[in-house]
Amino acid sequence: MDICFLYMIEETREKYEKLEEELNNSTIIGDPRKLGQISKELSDIKSAYDLIVRLDRVNEDLRQNMQLMGEETDEDMLEMVKVEIGELEALKLDLEKELNLELKPKDPRDKKNCIVEIRAGTGGDESALFAAELFRMYSKYAESKKWKLNILDSNSIGIGGLKEIIFEVKGDNVYGELKYESGTHRVQRVPETEKQGRIHTSAATVVVLAEAEEIELEIKNEDIRVDTFCSSGPGGQSVNTTYSAIRLTYIPTGLIVSCQDQKSQHQNKEKAMQILRSRLLAQEEEKKRKEQSDERLSQVGGGDRSDKVRTYNFPQDRITDHRINQSWYGIDKIIDGGVGVIIDALRES
């Protein structure tokens, strides 16, 4: 362990013990506001503190076993001690890895729910089919994490592809995990419609937005134009005769949000406002980041083949994330909801 890591461990240990002591202070117990603040701070670092306690136990067990190695003469006993030391060293590495991730500075938005937008990019129908596969991947992953996923708006094509889909994901630490999926995802494979067996390259973009609450962003009614229209299905045909679909235009910037997948006009308007708030909040945060650094990279590119964060190479059964220059094999398993292995690697990088 390096000095910085050891310092963070000791700092967290001292902070937790000090907060626990304050929590039992009669003066603080009588102050509900202060009590709530300390309880929250304690809760925020409890998982890290629990890992530190487990690591302390493992280190003590290792120390005792190493001491026993120097004193024991029985061969069978020595062999047992060696095996236990190997197991403890492996456990120590796992705990240090988990603790290092836990002690990294947190984005305050990580615990928020999020809105994910997937759009077909370069590649025509093939890119729309790929967008649908990405949606399936995130749906399966959300299911494995016991998160709740709800489609807000979608635009499909007749062959099972998606030109665009917008959905919300609710659960524990949702934005903290899915934020790494933002960017252009490129796919290389032979499309089913390709008769000569040539490999095509297509792309789809993914944008992950932290869900914005009303208190975070004030939107004036006079700044919004509301239009209603009939919901449409694949190819643009009308799927009902009531004007339940909603289109919101944010007049100051011209930003447009549509929602048609909910059952009523009221629900569509509510979800459209949810998307609008999240997009506007993301724009505000992006503006602040740009002011801090003129050299920053935007969250997502234009969907061009060359502008990519990850490549899905089907002929070689390989997925490569270009941000950390790491590859995984077994595309079918990853698209079937196993994307967590990639997300974990990005979180640890």
pLDDT at res. 280: 87
Helix (H) / strand (E) element for 327: namely strand 326-329
pLDDT at res. 238: 45
In this predicted structure, the answer to whether residue 195 has a pLDDT above a threshold of 90 is no
User: Do 61 and 184 belong to one domain?
Assistant: no
Q: Which of 103, 130, 160 is the last residue of a domain?
A: 103
Q: Within a domain: residue 144? A: yes
User: Do 50 and 126 belong to one domain?
Assistant: no
User: Do 51 and 144 belong to one domain?
Assistant: no
d(CA 118, CA 116): 7
Residue 232: CB atoms within 10 A of its CB come to 14
User: Do 80 and 226 belong to one domain?
Assistant: no
Residues 6+ away with beta carbon under 8 Å from 275: 115, 152, 153, 166, 257, 259
pLDDT at res. 182: 93
d(CA 133, CA 138): 9
In this predicted structure, the answer to whether residue 322 has a pLDDT above a threshold of 90 is yes
d(CA 277, CA 217): 7
Of 314 and 216, more confident: 314
State phi, psi for 12 to the nearest 5 degrees. Answer: -65, -40
In this predicted structure, the answer to whether residue 235 has a pLDDT above a threshold of 60 is no
pLDDT, tens only, 256-298: 898 887 778 888 888 888 888 888 888 877 776 665 444 334 4
pLDDT at res. 227: 87
pLDDT band at 236 (very low <50, low <70, confident <90, very high): very low
User: Do 24 and 145 belong to one domain?
Assistant: no
pLDDT at res. 287: 75
The arithmetic mean of pLDDT across residues 219-248, rounded, is 71
User: Do 14 and 163 belong to one domain?
Assistant: no
pLDDT, tens only, 101-117: 888 777 778 888 999 99
Which amino acid appears at position 174 of this protein? Answer: V
* Domain carrying residue 49: 3-103
pTM of the model: 0.64
Q: Within a domain: residue 108? A: no
Measure CA 348 to chain center: 13
For the ranges 120-134, 174-188, 257-271, the lowest mean pLDDT is seen at: 257-271
Q: Within a domain: residue 209? A: yes
For the ranges 34-48, 67-81, 153-167, 239-253, the lowest mean pLDDT is seen at: 239-253
167 neighbors 152 (Cβ within 8 angstroms): yes
pLDDT, tens only, 296-308: 344 444 444 446 8
User: Do 234 and 215 belong to one domain?
Assistant: yes
pLDDT, tens only, 14-25: 999 999 999 888
Q: Within a domain: residue 323? A: yes
